[in-house]
Each structure stands twice: as C-alpha cells, then as structure tokens.
Structure 1
Amino acid sequence: MSDTFLRQLFDAAQRGDGDAIGTILDIFKPMIYKNSCINGSFDCDCFQELCIKFIHCIKKFKFTNISDITKYFG
C-alpha cells in the first residue's frame, strides 16, 4: 500500500466517507483483534469498543509524518 493511498483514505475518512473508514478499519483489524484478547481469549466486547475508539481516532488524527502510520503495518 502506498503512502499516498493511505493519506487519501484518511483524508476521505475525515470528510465522513464511510467506505474509507471501513477500508482503514479493515487494514488495521488484525492489530485491533490482537489487542482484543484478554488473558488469552478473544473478547468481542473489547473488540467492539476498540473499533469504536479507532474510528473516533481516525476522525481526529493529524498527519505530521506518514511514517507515523506506515510503521504499524507491512
């Protein structure tokens, strides 16, 4: 995924584009899933709360450097 594409997705998401928000959520879903495990078991309530918080953060995120985001996925 190119830095330009990710930046365009975030710009669209911050303008309220639901498809862009969904795409970003799909990109980061493995990380959210991993952080939804409590004591070795998946917690669906935690996953849902993390997804809601992540969407909120997408809308508030300010780019200072594209590497702020791209370092979290390969």
Structure 2
Amino acid sequence: MSDSFLRQLFDAAQNGDGDAIGVILEVFKPMIYKNSCINGYFDYDCFQELCIKFICCIKTFKFTNISDITKYFN
C-alpha cells in the first residue's frame, strides 16, 4: 500500500467513511494482534480495547509528514 493511498484512506476515514476505517484497521490488524498477547497468550479484551483506541486515533490523527508512514507497519 502506497503512502499516498494510505493518506487518502485516512482523509476519508476522518470524514466519516466507515469502509475506509475498516480498511485501515485491516492493514494494522497484525500489529494490534501482536500487541494483544499478554504473557504469551492472546487476550481478546485487550485486542478489542486496542481496536477501539486505534479507531479513535484514526479520527484525530494529524499528518505532519507523509514521507514514509509504511515504516510503522511492522
């Protein structure tokens, strides 16, 4: 996914496009999943809370530089 396409998705998501929010969530889901493991076990409640927080962050995120947002995918 290119930086400019991700930026377009974020712009759409911030304007209330639920489909764009869903696409962004799917892109970052592996990172959210990885951070939902506690003591080696997947914690669904943690995963759900992280997803909710992530969606809130999407809505308020401000781009300052789009030079290489893909570095945050891993």
**Structure 1 length-normalised TM:** 0.94
Give the Cα–Cα distance (whole angstroms) in 1 for the partners of residues 29 and 37 of structure 2: 13
Identity %: 86
Give the Cα–Cα distance (whole angstroms) in 2 for the partners of residues 36 and 67 of structure 1: 28
User: Could you say what the CA RMSD is over the residues aligned between the two structures, in angstroms?
Assistant: 1.3
The 4+ residue runs of structure 1 with deviation greater than 6 A are none
SS at match of 1:24: helix
- Flag structure 1 segments of 5+ consecutive residues without an equivalent: none
Give the Cα–Cα distance (whole angstroms) in 2 for the partners of residues 29 and 68 of structure 1: 19
Alignment correspondent of 1:54: 54
**Structure 1 residue 69 displacement after superposition:** 2.7
8 Å CA contact 2:13–2:58 kept in 1: the answer is: yes
Aligned residues: 74
- Flag structure 2 segments of 5+ consecutive residues without an equivalent: none
**Structure 2 length-normalised TM:** 0.94
